[in-house]
Amino acid sequence: MKEYGNIKALIEVMNAHGVEYVFFNPGIDNVPVLETISKYSAEGKKSPRGILCLDEFVAMTAAHGNYMASGRPQVVSVHSELGTLQIGGALHNAQWGKVPVVFFTENQGPPQRTNWRGEAFDQGTMVRNFVKWDHQLAAGEDIIDIFKKAFNIATTEPCGPVYLTLPREVLWDDKNITEKTSPDIARAAIPEADAETLDKATGILIEAEDPLIVTGYSGRNLESVDSLIKLAEALSSRVLTTDIRVNFPNTHPLSAYLSVAVGYGNPLLTTADAILAIDYDMHYAGPPAALRKDVKIIHIDIDTVKKGVPLWGRKPDILIKADSSRAIPALTDILNKKITPERRKQLKERFSRLETEHNKLSDEWRELAKSHAKRKPISAHWLSHCINEAIDDDTIIVNQTISPATIVAHLIERTRPGTLLSCAGGCIGWAPGAALGVKLAAPDKTVISLMGDGAFIYGCPEASLWSASFYKAPYLAIIYDNQGYGAIKGLFSEKYDVDNMGADIPTPPDYSKIASANNAYGRMVEDPADVPVALKDCLSMVKSGKPAVLDVRLQPV
């Protein structure tokens, strides 16, 4: 076999960064990579494992899920311009999910779009809006240096995708250059929060009568879940969290769940007199939820620039660039020292009031769901309740439900760090591929993905299920099948039934058959009484090693 010197060196760089998988779809570009990986594996040498994804969207999405569950940097390898285009909106999701992924192609495109040397014209323009850095290897540049730089940029917080285009002759180079070592790049230290500024922030928070903590992705550091509980309890402040991660348990008395889709309209934002935003990418509020004029906003984030969000709206009064996993405990320490016994007593009373409100609301949601036990068609409430009953605390929920997102958020309890992973971006179709990547990262955990019928199809389910079966990474996909694009339907104010306006999927496909066509177990349910038993059967299939799809026919939108 030929030895590809450059590729051997690239594999060493991947090994040094703890890369476990190369999610790929083939072209001439990755032949040397795949050949070298298989040679390493045959010889028992350490190298990432190649995971063939039958669609590039799934390759990038699986990398996204794998990062969320493992925290490891990712590598995706696709075929030139065409493979890059096929990644599509999965790259937008990876950008907003802050996924440290290096993805590379060769810079030879399809003949119609290349120059006489076979080089594509500025391939990076396709992705420039969605990456931290894109680079085409120039003559005389050292590929190893560039690869190390790519990892350094992708993994420096805020993390994000990096795109490399590489000349074919460099990829196929057969000189043995593994001895050649380019120096490692130093990693930037993550800033500590400035103690004086934290102290100023605590003054505002202690004084506030109606404080609110809002968090987006602080739970990526698993220990931050516990420290955020301590902070919220010290302050007796409610916590609104996106569903991107378990940032705060939704069972906690101070939890006030914020789903991404309704973030703008949350009434708690309109009444708060102090907002502490932590690792949060959304505008604090937009119409119709106007903030109080006198609200004070403190924002702690590793990403204070928010590149790609041109207008932020209301700006923070105090902005702290810091690693939240260290800033949250530091803030709590200062608070605990500063709160007077008298104020502590008042805060305790506030805690009791918020706890009562939370418990009441939580009981109402649960009772409502149970009251749908016999309702036909099946309701999203009943389905979510049954899922909650069927899972254990360690099950990882991979969630991209859209119109039922708030129902899922209230009825599926997640308490342990890392057991809820959702898509920070807006491209639908994330859940099937992400679940594949999550299961590869967490083979001992049960992985359940939740999505609408629209999302299932956008997510290239055949590609994801095939890989899940072939690579023994079985997960259960549950379809909240409302036979249409519920979120879009909600935007139509009138419907005249003259034709399909574009939001209904009447006579829908039988999605369970997509499963059985792809070495997976498929089941469709229409009766609410069948939901618990169908869930049980699907989960036992998954335990036996087979991916499963449960198509739950809900009330059409």
Ligand X SMILES: Cc1ncc(C[n+]2csc(CCOP(=O)(O)OP(=O)(O)O)c2C)c(N)n1
Q: Which of 213, 285, 327, 427 binds ligand X (CB under 6 A)?
A: 427
- Does residue number 57 form part of the binding site for ligand X (CB under 6 A)? no
How many C-beta atoms lie closer than 10 Å to residue 500's C-beta?
11
Decide if residue 100 touches ligand X (CB under 6 A).
no
Rounded CA-CA distance 113/127 in Å is: 17
Minimum distance from residue 92 beta carbon to ligand X (Å): 9
- Contacts by residues 232-237 (CB-CB < 8 Å, ≥ 24 positions apart): 233/351, 234/332, 234/335, 234/336, 234/339, 235/205, 235/206, 235/211, 235/335, 235/347, 236/347, 236/348, 236/350, 236/351, 236/354, 237/205, 237/208, 237/211, 237/212, 237/213, 237/276
Q: Judged by CB under 6 A, does residue 528 bind ligand X?
A: no
Q: Which stretch binds ligand X (CB under 6 A): 178-186, 263-271, 391-399, 449-457?
A: 449-457
Q: What binding mask, one character per residue, do residues 395-424 give for ligand X by CB under 6 A, x or -?
A: -------xxx--------------------
Which CB, 120 or 420, lies closer to ligand X? Answer: 420
Per CB under 6 A, the list member of 50, 211, 486, 547 interacting with ligand X is 486
CB of 60 to ligand X, least distance (A): 13
- Least distance from C-beta 483 to ligand X, angstroms? 8
User: By CB under 6 A, is residue 488 in contact with ligand X?
Assistant: yes
Q: Which of 398, 411, 324, 419 is nearest to 368 (CA)?
A: 411
Smallest distance, Å, CB 3 to ligand X? 42
The answer to whether 40 touches 68, Cβ cutoff 8 Å, is no
Contact (Cβ atoms closer than 8 angstroms) between residue 223 and residue 192: no
For residue 122, the minimal CB distance to ligand X (Å) is 25
**In 4-84, beta strands by DSSP E:** 21-24, 49-52, 74-77
Cis preceding linkage at 508, omega within 30? no
89 or 417, CB closer to ligand X?
A: 89
Q: Which is nearer to ligand X, 328 or 455 (CB)?
A: 455
Give the residue with the Cβ less far from ligand X, 163 or 485. Answer: 485
- Min separation Cβ 359 and ligand X, Å: 29
Residue 15 contacts residue 46 (beta carbons within 8 Å): yes
Residues sharing a CB contact under 8 Å with residue 288, sequence separation 6 or more, in sequence order: 264, 265
Shorter beta-carbon distance to ligand X: residue 203 or 509: 509
| Nearest distance in Å: CB 286, ligand X | 18
Helix (H, G, I), strand (E, B) or coil at 546: coil
295 closest CA partner among 317, 269, 273: 273
Nearest-CB residue for ligand X = 452
Q: In this chain, which of 118, 191, 313, 426 binds ligand X, going by CB under 6 A? A: 426
Write down the least CB distance from residue 273 to ligand X, Å.
Answer: 34
Contact with ligand X (CB under 6 A) among 103, 130, 458, 475: 458
From candidates 5, 100, 219, 454, binder to ligand X by CB under 6 A: 454
Write down the least CB distance from residue 456 to ligand X, Å: 7
Give CA separation, 125 vs 82, 99, 130, 134, 381, in Å. Answer: 13, 20, 10, 9, 44
In the bound state with ligand X, the residue whose beta carbon lies nearer, of 160 and 429, is 429
Q: Does 428 help bind ligand X (rule: CB under 6 A)?
A: yes
For ligand X, which is the closer residue by CB, 171 or 479?
A: 479
Alpha-carbon dihedral angle through residues 103, 108, 109, 115, given to the nearest 10 degrees: 140
Q: Which is nearer to ligand X, 92 or 135 (CB)?
A: 92
Alpha helices in 401-470 (DSSP H): 405-411, 430-441, 453-458, 461-470
| Residue number, 458 or 521, with CB nearest to ligand X | 458
**Residue 337 φ/ψ, nearest 5 degrees:** -75, -30
User: Does the footprint of ligand X cover residue 487 (CB under 6 A)?
Assistant: yes
Please enumerate in sequence order all residues whose Cβ is within 8 A of that of 389, keeping only pairs 6 or more positions apart, or say none: 532
Query: 10 Å Cβ neighbour count for 66?
Result: 30
Q: Cβ closer to ligand X: 244 or 339?
A: 244
Q: Would you count residue 452 as binding ligand X (CB under 6 A)?
A: yes
Question: Burial letters for 384-415: b for 16+ Cβ neighbours within 10 Å, e otherwise?
Answer: bbbbbebbeeebbbbbbbbbbbbbbbbbbebe
Count of residues that interact with ligand X, criterion CB under 6 A: 21
Q: Least Å distance between CB 557 and ligand X? A: 6
Q: Which tokens in the block code for residue 138?
A: 């120039």
Stretch that binds ligand X, among 271-279, 281-289, 387-395, 479-487 (CB under 6 A): 479-487
| Among positions 482, 535, 548, 549, the unique one binding ligand X when judged by CB under 6 A | 482
Closest approach of Cβ 547 to ligand X, in Å?
19
d(CA 25, CA 509): 27
Query: What does R_g of the chain's alpha carbons equal in angstroms?
Result: 25
Q: Does 455 bind ligand X (CB under 6 A)?
A: yes
Which positions lie near ligand X, rule CB under 6 A? 89, 402-404, 426-429, 451-455, 458, 482, 484-488, 557
